[in-house]
Structure 1
């Protein structure tokens, strides 16, 4: 399931807080986490969750995207903090679909493969849309930092609130804080008509 991936994606670092235990992990993700849990690829372009970060990300994603029926299990994330999660509404229990959750746009996008084909197919055939490597290059050339495992490059102003989709609207941030704030904004603005002026939103600590 990771044959092509292993040949082309070499970990550039590994999360030092990684626990070797995969107890309680979904059987679908067990092999991935045992082989690559906590691994970072290409200076943060793509990262695979460990058990702890997966749990935290899945909780944040479930809050931001309640219309996606549980279980919503995040297994990886990219430099922008976008989460890749199992989608059990598609595929099968043994081989579910994959959904891409975007905190910057407030959108959930179906990846057109099942999990078994994601690493050996989608990350090659759909690399540009899955990982946005050229945009990452723009960020780095502008002097942007490489994110650590618990960080991402988030939008200062989310795109769904009118932020610009360029490197000047990006900043290095803690991924948990970014998802907490983005999730609250997504929930608060989900049903507003396009073009609505948003004022006075409160963010919980």
Structure 2
């Protein structure tokens, strides 16, 4: 598989258990997902540039992403994420030749991108031919060259000031953080500022403890 030769598996974390029954219903709509997860579930690839969720984490991340981006509940199945904490998901509302296409949720910018590819095409074509767009490869190389370290499985390299609040897309605005904390805080900020016009001066913003 082209994905394996381009993004070799990192030593850590070790493989996690992946019951094939978990993908029994989705397999006809995402050919290859069962076999792909069977040997790669919970894995990190390409020095941390891309990671797969563990099978047990998928329901949790479906809820986290749907909470940050209302309207996607019961429409998505999250399966992986990149070094910036951007989450990839199957989109049940978009099909090509009977196969679900992909959504990319970028919490740092509040944007959602439609990727015209199915599950295997994403890994074997989009990640390889369009690595900058799909995985932010050049930005990741810049982060590592600046002395930044690769994220662990539960981390991402997030924006200290989100782009949707005027933050800059440069390495000076990046910082390692817990993946779920980054999404929770950014999600709260996104919901609280969703109806504000561009250029609005922010007052007090409260971060809730769940």
Partners of 1:144 and 1:198 lie apart in 2 by: 31
Give 3-state SS (helix, strand or coil) of 2:177's partner.
strand
TM alignment of 1:150-161, pairs within 5 A: 150-161=154-165
Counterpart among 33, 36, 43 of residue 39 in structure 1:
43
Determine the structure 2 residue equivalent to 1:54.
Answer: 58
Give 3-state SS (helix, strand or coil) of 2:202's partner.
coil
CA contact (8 A) 2:68 2:191 kept: yes
CA contact (8 A) 1:95 1:116 kept: no
TM superposition shift of 1:69? 4.8
Count, aligned residues: 203
Determine the structure 2 residue equivalent to 1:70.
Answer: 74
Determine the structure 2 residue equivalent to 1:15.
Answer: 13
- Where structure 1 has 5 or more consecutive residues not aligned to the other structure, the ranges are none
Give 3-state SS (helix, strand or coil) of 1:113's partner.
coil
**More moved, 7-16 vs 69-78:** 7-16
CA contact (8 A) 2:75 2:93 kept: no
Determine the structure 2 residue equivalent to 1:80.
Answer: 84
**More moved, 101-110 vs 112-121:** 112-121
Partners of 1:63 and 1:120 lie apart in 2 by: 30
- Where structure 2 has 5 or more consecutive residues not aligned to the other structure, the ranges are none
Determine the structure 1 residue equivalent to 2:198.
Answer: 194
- Please give the TM-score of this superposition, normalised by the length of structure 2: 0.89
After TM superposition, where is structure 1 displaced by more than 4 Å over at least 4 residues in a row? none
Partners of 1:31 and 1:115 lie apart in 2 by: 12
Partners of 2:14 and 2:185 lie apart in 1 by: 26
TM superposition shift of 1:163? 0.7
Partners of 2:12 and 2:89 lie apart in 1 by: 20
**More moved, 194-203 vs 98-107:** 194-203
Asked if 1:100 corresponds to 2:100, the answer is: no
- Please give the TM-score of this superposition, normalised by the length of structure 1: 0.91
**More moved, 151-160 vs 38-47:** 38-47
TM superposition shift of 1:10? 1.3
